[in-house]
A and B are shown apart, each in its own frame.
Chain A
């Protein structure tokens, strides 16, 4: 039966069109409104914006610093991640899946937890290098490598673990593969360059837009992202500190260009170099490495150290009397976080806000993401050019940083209705939706593409209509990607910091990351650090629980999205 012309078919087309319109309205329009407002204040002269960015005391050196730390962070990430991915993929380990989960958990940790964890680790009670300015830069690099190492593992380990062993065996029997260097040159490099390049680009993007880590670790040096966040309170106001609008415009322009190029490069490298290497027909019998734990144990320790230090820091209170520091162990930090203070909301309020915003993000991002992913997928068969255009449009938000999205919401919405900024409580959720929807689309689109077309065709010849095929074939087959996308939306929203910092800081709508940040910013209170760590611990527990569910749902595929 041909679906064309049926009422259900028209309903599906209508829903998809509506979803695309909603996507443009929700995601493109706030950014566009914010940009127009900033240009209205600063004028339309990009050269002047960049000169102000480079010359102003608030932002001088930010461009160089952003590029330098991103490049070094990306190299450090690859240097740390590749040996770990190799060890994990090529050798047999006891509790392999547990090790993989522990090694990749940093990436799903909210950046504020990474910041709090690294601060505690480098603080006086641990490594004691916080007071030395010379160590700030390298601490940031290590922090970024910690955060992004799991990208390299996720991209490289599956192909190392599942590559058909006959590829290497055959090479060993040929003259060009008789030496280790020959096998590296002719097999491992071609196999690993695409996932390594993709993880380098992604690592560069995440380091380039890093905010929480830069805000807390380097203090004096700013990235473009932190410059935008600092400048945002006064940006976009007619006749008031117009240079901040110029700084924001210049920063977002550079970020947009660099992120677009990086993401384009990552996808091009993947497309051009990725070959379909044969997978092992059955589970590969991998070798044992007698001294493997000498490498693996430090990697595992490195992965969990910041998270554990946050938990330990939540029950340790440091007091300084007569120049001597003393640690006491108590739940006072937790109690302070639980009760809140004059300027801080209680932990339960922040948790309720975070969960509520996460649920709103989920409720909007998932159906929207599914409809748009379905539209792109079906257009791929009927109108290739249109599907590519839509695919590109849904990826465009990746080129905006969280700070720009926060500004989009703040400036864009207040332009429509100034009272909304203080009265419309779901406002932070709008920023979260803007960030989570593109991810939901990518994950579900990958899932839809992986479904064999014959499944749908077999259902058709059985007489199933579009709705029956959706509910009885597609959605059950998509259970894994849908669950992963849902968990990802929840986790992203719960841990979101950059956009929330601009939209909801100093409001009653504080989320857990904002509360952790605010407590950390009260150095005179001896319990503040413990309270901050207590909030971060609560957030880490939620992230780990979500991660555990996602790990169970994640299909056993090669690399790809989280």
Chain B
């Protein structure tokens, strides 16, 4: 996943996106968003400040889309785990990525919340028509979220 978005160079092989070889394109120019396992929020910025890193406008709509309306001025240290991950998602979507990579973003939150968040994120991504790749160890999570599932089993020869 880090190779796809350009944060790491592949040892071998090439990375293609929509037929275009993007292996040598720096991560900041690929237009691919990434949601980390633990939401990466900048503690010196408010909720709105974190969103401003993606775009200077459309914050309220973005927050409303993920169910965080009215929290723009709140400090990120006062957000719960689920709220933090929703904010990270809102920020990633606000930058209007060509595709979104999700690196086990639901694993650090409790089961109930994660189930709700999976549904919400799926709806939002579908609504926007944004292709996404989710990496997870949880089969149920993958089945609920994905249209296509690829199993990677390193024990196979």
Q: A186-B53, A276-B77 are in contact. Are A173 and B43 (CB under 8 A)?
A: no
Return chain B residues, CB-CB under 8 Å to A176. Answer: 52-54
Q: 8 Å CB contacts to B: which residues of A159-192?
A: 164, 166-167, 169-179, 186-187, 190-191
Return chain A residues, CB-CB under 8 Å to B130. Answer: none
Q: Is the CB of A174 within 8 A of B91?
A: yes
Query: For the complex, is A277 an interface residue (Cβ under 8 Å from B)?
Result: yes
**Which of B13-21, B28-36, B118-126 touches A?**
B28-36
Give Cα A179–Cα B28 distance, bound, in whole angstroms: 8
Query: For the complex, is B136 an interface residue (Cβ under 8 Å from A)?
Result: no
Return chain A residues, CB-CB under 8 Å to B27. Answer: 169, 172-173
Q: Considering only CB atoms, which chain A residue lies closest to B55 in the complex?
A: A175
Q: Is the CB of A186 within 8 A of B42?
A: yes
Return chain B residues, CB-CB under 8 Å to A164. Answer: 40
Return chain B residues, CB-CB under 8 Å to A172. Answer: 7, 26-28
Q: Is the CB of B40 within 8 A of A170?
A: yes
Return chain B residues, CB-CB under 8 Å to A275. Answer: 43-44, 77
Interface flags, A187-204, vs B, CB<8A=1, else 0: 100110000000000000
Q: 8 Å CB contacts to A: which residues of B52-110?
A: 52-55, 77, 91-92, 95, 97
Give Cα A328–Cα B52 distance, bound, in whole angstroms: 68
Return chain B residues, CB-CB under 8 Å to A166. Answer: 36, 38, 40
Q: 8 Å CB contacts to B: which residues of A136-180?
A: 164, 166-167, 169-179
Q: Considering only CB atoms, which chain B residue lies closest to A187 in the complex?
A: B42
Return chain A residues, CB-CB under 8 Å to B42. Answer: 167, 171, 186-187, 190
Return chain A residues, CB-CB under 8 Å to B44. Answer: 190-191, 273, 275
Q: A166-B36, A173-B5, A276-B77 are in contact. Are A178 and B43 (CB under 8 A)?
A: no
**In the complex, how many angstroms separate the beta carbon of B78 from the nearest chain A beta carbon?**
13
Return chain A residues, CB-CB under 8 Å to B43. Answer: 275-277
Point out the residue from B32, B38, B55, B77 that lies within 8 Å of A173, measured CB to CB.
B32
Give Cα A170–Cα B77 distance, bound, in whole angstroms: 18
Among A170, A173, A177, A186, find the residue whose CB has the most chain B CB atoms closer than 10 A: A173
Return chain B residues, CB-CB under 8 Å to A187. Answer: 42
Q: A169-B27, A186-B53, A276-B77 are in contact. Are A175 and B95 (CB under 8 A)?
A: yes
**In the complex, how many angstroms separate the beta carbon of B23 from the nearest chain A beta carbon?**
16
Q: Is the CB of A171 within 8 A of B36?
A: no
Q: Considering only CB atoms, which chain A residue lies closest to B54 in the complex?
A: A174
Q: Considering only CB atoms, which chain A residue lies closest to B39 in the complex?
A: A170
**In the complex, how many angstroms separate the beta carbon of A80 from the nearest chain B beta carbon?**
26
Point out the residue from A171, A273, A276, A278 that lies within 8 Å of B53, measured CB to CB.
A171
Q: Is the CB of B54 within 8 A of A175?
A: yes
Give Cα A375–Cα B5 distance, bound, in whole angstroms: 53
**In the complex, how many angstroms separate the beta carbon of A43 from the nearest chain B beta carbon?**
51
Return chain B residues, CB-CB under 8 Å to A190. Answer: 42, 44-45
Give Cα A190–Cα B50 distance, bound, in whole angstroms: 13
Return chain A residues, CB-CB under 8 Å to B97. Answer: 173
Give Cα A191–Cα B45 distance, bound, in whole angstroms: 11
Interface flags, A35-48, vs B, CB<8A=1, else 0: 00000000000000
Q: A175-B54, A187-B42 are in contact. Are A170 and B36 (CB under 8 A)?
A: yes
Q: Considering only CB atoms, which chain B residue lies closest to A191 in the complex?
A: B44
Q: Considering only CB atoms, which chain B residue lies closest to A169 in the complex?
A: B7
Q: Considering only CB atoms, which chain A residue lies closest to B101 in the complex?
A: A173
Give Cα A175–Cα B32 distance, bound, in whole angstroms: 11
Point out the residue from B5, B28, B91 that lies within 8 Å of A178, measured CB to CB.
B28
Known: A169-B27, A173-B95, A174-B91. 9 other contacts (CB 8 A): A167-B42, A172-B26, A173-B27, A173-B33, A175-B53, A177-B53, A179-B28, A186-B53, A275-B44
Question: What are 28 of the A-B contact pairs (CB < 8 Å)?
Answer: A164-B40, A166-B40, A167-B40, A167-B42, A169-B7, A169-B34, A169-B40, A170-B34, A170-B36, A172-B27, A172-B28, A173-B27, A173-B32, A173-B34, A173-B95, A174-B54, A174-B95, A175-B54, A175-B55, A175-B95, A178-B28, A190-B42, A190-B45, A273-B44, A275-B43, A276-B77, A277-B43, A278-B40
**6 closest cross-chain pairs (CB), A and B:** A275-B43, A178-B28, A176-B53, A190-B44, A170-B40, A172-B28
